[in-house]
Amino acid sequence: MSVDNKPKAIIVGGSIAGLSCAHALISAGWNVLVLEKSISPPKGSSTGAGIGLDLLSQQIIKSWLSQSQPFEELSFPLTIDQNVVTDGDNTIRILTRDEKFTFRAAHWADLHGLLYSDLPHEIFLWGHLCLSFYVSEDKTSVNVKAKALQTDEIIEINGDLLVAADGSLSSIRRTFLPDLKLRYSGNCAWRGVVDFSGKETSETIIGLRKVYPDLGNCSYFHLTTGSHIVLYELRNQKLNWVWYVHHPEPELKGNSVTMKVSSDMINNMYQEAEKVWPPEFAELIKETKEPFLNFIYDCDPLQQIVWENVVVIGDAAHPTTPHGARSTNMAIADAAVLGKCLGKWGVENLHSALEEYQHLRLTVSSKQTILPLYCNSHHLFQSRE
């Protein structure tokens, strides 16, 4: 137990899942320490791309923040969800149109910055890699060994709980499930964000708005033979696009499913886009600075996400495809439910709290991993408030 008699959680991972967990646990009366291998917090909007936030995530995020206004300012309302298809004569036909869509779009870096800025900065250990951990024999504490990447100094940290928010290739999950192998989907996603500020009347933007007239408050899902794209607008005059393509399974290096791409790969991608998509969208891709590749993996639903004083959340708990904007939304809900359970049971009943968390989130994540829609975590979360 920490010196101020508050229980202490060690969170491994400083992405949105880890930051969400920090907010939720602090709200539940816990001290937290966040270990992140990146040397410093992300700066600027060059990191990441667009994310879609469902209504539950919006409510949870605003409940954590000292002021809700900044969230509204950085996110963009998406009130329409529209699926379109390119017909044989290259005309675009509407398949489905939902005008009661309740998502908001945000840039990953903007949301990360908002969550980070509203947390005590002294709780972060940037540039620290988790090396190992062990739970005490009496199951009352956990010890984490980490290395400072800039100095190679090894430190040890004690806490009451270890939270693994270290992504779909989680090294902590691998400790408990060494034989679990992620399943490659056969697809990767080219991603990019285009800043069109000062270029609103350019031929590219005008042409794109003719092809996709509801841009601004609509999330477009455009299908063609063997492929599809997602397109929507972000705040500050930016457009986010995702293009899913078939691709052989790569040899992943390190702990990331994101790949840096060569100029030859980008040029080949341009050529393929011209063959498949309307010229206006192909031109948008060409104007994208630093497009990148995400390779898409998932796995069958896990049967366990808690081991004694260790719990996994976010992509570490349920690696899934990005369809339906599930990854970030599930991570935010994981964090919120974990915080609710810990606040309800108290540290003296930690294992009961974790058992309840596991039951609630496995029920949801099993359905989310199997089904392509974000189903009923809203109901499960509300039922425990």
Largest CA distance in the chain: 71
Q: Residue 155's beta-bridge partner residues?
A: 146
Phi, psi values for residue 78, rounded to 5°: -110, 100
- Closest Cα to residue 334, out of 169, 129, 163? 163
Helix segments in the chain, DSSP class H: 16-27, 55-64, 69-74, 108-117, 171-176, 203-211, 263-276, 279-286, 326-345, 350-370, 377-382
pLDDT tens-place values along the chain, 385 residues long: 555 789 999 999 999 999 999 999 999 999 999 999 999 988 765 668 999 999 999 999 999 999 878 999 999 999 999 999 987 777 899 999 999 999 999 999 999 999 999 999 999 999 999 999 999 999 999 999 999 999 999 999 999 999 999 999 999 999 999 999 998 888 899 999 999 999 999 999 999 999 999 999 999 999 988 889 999 999 999 999 999 999 888 877 666 788 778 899 999 999 999 999 999 999 999 999 989 998 888 888 899 999 999 999 999 999 877 666 688 999 999 999 999 999 999 999 999 999 999 999 998 877 665 544 333 333 333 333 2
For the chain, what is the total number of helices (H) and then of strands (E)? 11, 20
How confident is the prediction for the chain on average, in pLDDT? 89
Cα dist. 100→17, 78, 218 in Å? 27, 9, 11
d(CA 292, CA 192): 7
Task: Quote the tokens at residue 305.
Answer: 């996400």
d(CA 301, CA 368): 9
- pLDDT reported for residue 161: 98
Contacts of 101 (CB under 8 A, 6+ apart): 78, 79, 80, 81, 219
- Closest Cα to residue 234, out of 193, 272, 269, 200? 193
Phi, psi values for residue 66, rounded to 5°: -70, -30
Pairing of the two strands 76-78 and 227-234: unpaired
- pLDDT reported for residue 375: 33
Cα dist. 271→142, 149, 230, 265, 275 in Å? 53, 41, 19, 10, 7
Residue type, 211: V
d(CA 161, CA 24): 14
- Closest Cα to residue 22, out of 310, 336, 295, 244? 336
